[in-house]
Every structure is written in C-alpha cells, then in structure tokens.
Amino acid sequence: MSGSLEGRVAVVVGSSSGMGRATALTFAAQGAKVVLASRNEEALNDVAAEIGEGALVCPTDARDAGAVNRMVAAAMEAFGRIDILVYSTGTNIPDRSVERLTTDTWDMMVATNLNGAFYCTRAVVPIMREQRDGTIIYISSGCVQFPDTSGVSYQATKHGMKGLSYGTLKEEKGNGIRTSVVYPGLCDTPLVLQRPVKTPDDIVAQALQPQDVADACLYVATLPARACVPELVLLPSGLA
C-alpha cells in the first residue's frame, strides 16, 4: 500500500499519543501530508520529527471552537486542502461513576470527547463540500456495542460520536463526504492508566495496540469513493 495516500492531506486530532499518534505516523508513511493537532506541543514536535517533511504542528485545544478554526485555517494555508479528518482525542477519569461525577467533570468529558469532535467536523465540512470529497473518521469505543464500566460520561460521549457521524453522513453524502466510526475494544494506550482499578497485566497483554487502530483508519481512508464503512468494530481477539 506504499504511497496509497500520496497527495492527500490528513488532519489528525489527538496525534500526540496513542491511537492518534500511530495513525498520523501511518498516514505519513503512506504519503499523506499530516496536520498534527493536540494540546501537547512538545509531543507533537516529537511526532513531526519522526515524520519529517510534510508534517504541520498545530497545538490545539479541541474544546475551543476558535482554536479548532485557527488550526484548520493553518492547514489550508499550508496545504490548500483537507482530505481526511481523524478525531482521536478522548479522555476518561477515575471518578467515573454516577455517584462520583460532578457537573465539572461531566462538562469536561462532554467538551473533550464530543464537543471537540463537533467543532472539528463543522470546521472541515465546508472545505470537503467544496472539494466534493472528504473522509471523517471518529475514534469512539467498543463500549458503544458492549456496555461496560467505563463510566456514564465516557459511554454517553462515545455514543454521541455515533450520532454525530451518522447525522453528518446523511446530510453530506451527496457532497462526496463520507464518515466512519471506529469502535476499538481494550487498547494499550495511556488511557488505560485512568482506570480506577488497575487492569491486570495479563489482560493488557492481550489488548489491541495503537497500530491496529491506525491500520483500521488507513483501511477506511484508502477505500475508493464509491465505498463507505459507516462503522468498524475492532476487538482484541482473545478478549472478544
């Protein structure tokens, strides 16, 4: 598949670590120009150094609609188009039960996991509509299909990403825009460390790796325009 994204421009939000980082590196390896966005500028610079030419570092707080708009404007100034958006930013907290959630932590979860996805979508859709081409990929969670103890705010926001994706697809498919939601099961990322009870090492050893999710995103992003994958469930085979 070498060069399968040649000439394409991908914005990867949450590209400083985990699945987003792996996706940015994978897209770049396949020839894409990559816009690296997250709040961690130092980590973004490290990713850009691995990519080399063709990476644009845009420190961005996705919870801030203005910051998202400025990031997209910088991407357009640098590359003149945006073909792919991957929203990989997401968070969770140890105090995740209904009993322990506060209005502040609930609002933070909604802002990070869902509002940011909407702000990014709203910013790129007019560009993709004008191009008559674009792919938006949302990294959700396997908890949407298989409810678990990841917490009500996490589950609510990850379910919300599905609604955002399907709503956008229905509205924009006539304009050449496709959307897809990827639902990874347990993946060995820093988010696992946010669990209130440590996940046993033998379970983590069976988890997905960020590269598995990146490869799924690459598959969706390289499909011909006639094909669309609205949902993709990706589970660790030993834990399914």
Q: How many residues does the chain have?
A: 240
Residues in contact with 8: Cβ distance below 8 Å, sequence separation at least 6, in sequence order: 27, 31, 32, 33, 83, 84, 221
User: 87, 119, 138, 154: which one is catalytic?
Assistant: 154
Angle between the N-to-C axes of helices 152-172 and 103-110, in degrees from 0 to 180, rounded to the nearest 10: 30
138 a catalytic residue: no
Report how far residue 142's alpha carbon sits from residue 90's, in angstroms, rounded to the nearest whole number.
Answer: 13
In angstroms, the first-to-last Cα distance of the chain is: 28
Burial of 226 (0-12, 13-18, 19+ CB in 10 A): exposed
Where on the phi/psi map is residue 76: left (φ > 0), alpha (ψ -120 to 50), or beta? alpha
How many C-beta atoms lie closer than 10 Å to residue 195's C-beta? 15
Judge whether 65 and 124 are in contact, CB under 8 Å. no
The residues annotated as belonging to the active site are 154
